[in-house]
Amino acid sequence: MASIKPLENNSSILIIGAGTWGTSIAYRLTKRGYTNIKVLDSNTFPSSLSAGNDLNKILEEPTSPPPRTRNTIETLASEVWRTDPVYQPHYHPTGFIYAAVGDAGWAKVKAAAEAQPDVYAPLEDAEAFRQTMPHGVLTGDLTGWRGFIRRAGAGWVEARDVLLDVYAAAAEGGATFVCDPEAGRIAELLYDEGDDEVVGAKTADGETHRADFTILTAGAGASALVDFENQLRPTAWTLAHVPLTAAEAPAYAELPVLFAVDEGFFLSPPKSAIAAGDAELKICDEHPGYIHLVSEEDGDKKEKQPVPIPRAAIPGVSAANMHKLLQATVPQLADRDVLWPRLCWDADSPDRLFLIARPPSRDSAQQQRLLVAAGGSGNGFMNSPAVGILVADLLEDRLEERMAKSLRWRPETAADRDWFDTQGRFGGSGKVVDLSEIPDGDWFEGPAR
């Protein structure tokens, strides 16, 4: 094994993946004074495959009951969202309506909200729901809806707009981004002469990118480069958009998030879209997730493994459930075309905690020059500022011991993993669904933008 160079401000650092986490890591490293950072991605920025390349995302600041590790991560992230000049302008703390229709979902909502009476106030009936938004927005009958509202410390963030600003700030700080189908696409990782330590990557155009340290943060596609020992399950959720007229857009501009754990949610359009006159309401149906299983040979046997598939379409049942959600809440929009339906891929860890660690090398020792950041588990965007901090801390060997233990490489949690585990999620059929079993005729593509 070649000797490991000590980390210095001019150490060459290669980041694989220019999505939400890759840009956040690059930004944080430039803030800490690192001057030799290169970020590779196979798509032009912002990537059409990045879960962060979206209008908006939910953000909830931490409260006391969550497990300690999650609470710490959320606290780190929230501090950045509230105070960092790059992030703060994109945070809209408009409130969060936590609701359910079915009994199982309601039991979860009720238990969580009633445990924090100083955070959540009950919404006693449909009229109470309507009063949370401007007149004429929530006009549906909301039959069966039950819920609570959190008026402070929660809301939504402008996803694509902040992603662009973080990218610009990282580039201004000296990070180099190579986002190209050939020059940025990783063909293979490079190993040292002992064939155990990662020393960079080779791209599809034949170029080699050697680095003192490599950080793999390729989202749902990370398993294509490193064997994560079943710790990652690429999981897709479904989203689409409903156009708003220039006249009505201001009424929808600063809404609290309306989230039903078993029905779905919608979010306000970002400021930039309203100013441009092309405002859209983002809508998502709620379900335990979609996966895509393919057969892979493992010695003498074949095993099915989940892999992401990009597709600018959603299963027809999800489109139908989105219309059902619109009809129950904002029926004045229910007859409009649903635009830009797509799958949004993330990677679930078995315990839905992030994986921020040095993985084992090929000789089973711990990698010293390769770090991985993966397993967003549906919470990756709102916590992306914290991921930048945690990865920088790990690189500098000063990640707090308790946090390092919680986020370590932990294949034991994936032993005999059930790919169809709902992981506590509700909605839809109540099951994780394999996309490969959905016939081509049962997909919804929607009209082009």
DSSP label at residue 4: P
Helix (H) or strand (E) holding 394: helix 384-395
Paired tokens of 9: 């401000």
| Distance (Å) of CA 242 to CA 330, 338, 449 | 11, 5, 11
What does the alpha-carbon distance between residue 352 and residue 64 come to, in Å, rounded to a whole number?
19
Strand arrangement of the beta sheet that strand 154-158 belongs to: 56-60, 154-158, 91-92
Closest of 163, 136, 128, 211 to residue 18, by C-alpha: 163
The mean pLDDT value for 31-48 works out to 95
**Structure confidence by residue, pLDDT tens digits, 252-305:** 999 999 999 999 999 999 999 999 999 999 999 999 999 999 987 665 556 899
**Does residue 306 carry a pLDDT above 80?**
yes
Among 381, 379, 373, 376, which residue's Cα sits nearest to residue 399?
Answer: 373
SS3 content of the chain, % helix, strand, coil (to 5): 25, 25, 45
Give 75's Cβ-side CA count (13 Å radius): 10
Q: pTM for the whole thing?
A: 0.95
Model confidence over 111-144: pLDDT tens digits? 999 999 999 999 999 999 999 999 999 999 999 9
pLDDT at 53: 86
- Which residues, listed in sequence order, are joined to residue 100 by a DSSP beta bridge? 146
pLDDT for residue 265 = 98
pLDDT of the residue at 3: 60
In this structure, which CATH number among 3.30.9.10, 3.40.190.10, 2.40.10.220, 3.40.30.10 belongs to the domain 96-151+233-348+418-449? 3.30.9.10
**Contact present, 132 and 259 (Cβ < 8 Å):** no
What is the CA 328 to chain-centroid distance, rounded? 27
Residue span(s) of the chain under CATH 3.50.50.60 come to: 1-91+158-231+350-417
Kindly indicate the confidence band of residue 449, based on its pLDDT and cuts at 50, 70 and 90: low
Could you tell me the two tokens for 444?
A: 């919804």
Which fold does the domain 1-91+158-231+350-417 belong to in CATH? FAD/NAD(P)-binding domain (3.50.50)
Q: How many CB atoms lie within 10 A of CB 368?
A: 16
Model confidence at 49, pLDDT cuts 50, 70, 90, reads: confident
Model confidence over 212-224: pLDDT tens digits?
999 999 999 999 9
For helices 20-31 and 384-395, give the axis angle rounded to 10 degrees.
50
End-to-end CA distance of the chain: 53
Q: What is the mean pLDDT of the chain?
A: 94
